[in-house]
Amino acid sequence: MRSLRPRRLVWRPRSRMERRAGTSTADLSGDRMAVTVTPGRRWALQPRTEAGGQPMAQTPMSSKTTSRVREITEGFGKGHDVAKYFADDAEYSVLPLGQVHKGKEQIKGLFQVFYHDAFSPASAEVTSVVADPEAGTGVLEFVFKGKHVGPQLGFPPTNKEVELPMIAVYEIERDLIRKARLYFDGAAFMRQLGM
C-alpha cells in the first residue's frame, strides 16, 4: 500500500514574465497538476503540460479516477446517498472551519446540513478535475451555490445567495474516499452570508 502522506509543494517563479507578474506555480514533481497563484487574484488548478505546452495524456485509469471524482461531487448536490462514496473509516476535513468529520454518519450529516438544511437549493458546479491514479488522489475545483435558508455555524438563516469557489482533494482507495480535504475562502463565505 502506498503511503498517504502529503507531498511537499515547491513554490518558485517559472519565468521572467511570471516574476514580473508576481505569479508562481506549485510544482508537484512527477504529478499531473500545477497550481498557479497570482497574489491578490484567484488561483487556478491546471493540468501539467509536457514540453511544447501540450497537456499530458490521460491514461485510462486517470480518466476513470477523474470520472469518479466528478461523479462524487456532483452527486452531493443531487441528493445521492453520500455514504456510498466513502469508506467506513473515512475522514472529511473542512479546513477553513477547522472541522473534521469522521466516519460515514458524520460525513453524511455534514452534507445534509450543507446541501439541504442550511442551503437550499444547493449545487456544486464542477469546473475542473485532475487525478493522479498512482497516488489515488483526485483534486477538483468547483463552485458551490446555494441560498442560506437554515442555521449554519450557529448563525440564523440570512436568505442570502452564496456562490463560492472551492477545492476538494480526495484520497481514493478501492473506489471509495478515505480522506477528503475541502478548501475555500472562509472570509468570503462569511461576507456573502452578510456576517
What sign results for the dihedral spanned by CA atoms 55, 58, 64, 65? negative
Confidence of residue 79 (pLDDT cuts 50, 70, 90): low
- For the stretch 160-193, pLDDT in tens is 999 999 999 999 888 889 999 999 999 999 999 9
Q: Indicate the pTM of the whole model.
A: 0.65
Q: Topology of 60-192 in CATH? A: Nuclear Transport Factor 2; Chain: A, (3.10.450)
Distance from C-alpha of 125 to C-alpha of 73, rounded to nearest angstrom: 9
DSSP 10: E
Domain ranges within the chain, ordered by starting residue: 8-57, 60-192
- For the stretch 114-162, pLDDT in tens is 888 999 888 888 898 888 888 888 898 999 999 999 998 888 999 999 9
Is the confidence at residue 98, as pLDDT, over 70? yes
Cβ neighbors of 8 (< 8 A, separation 6 or more) are none
- For the stretch 19-42, pLDDT in tens is 455 444 444 334 444 444 444 444
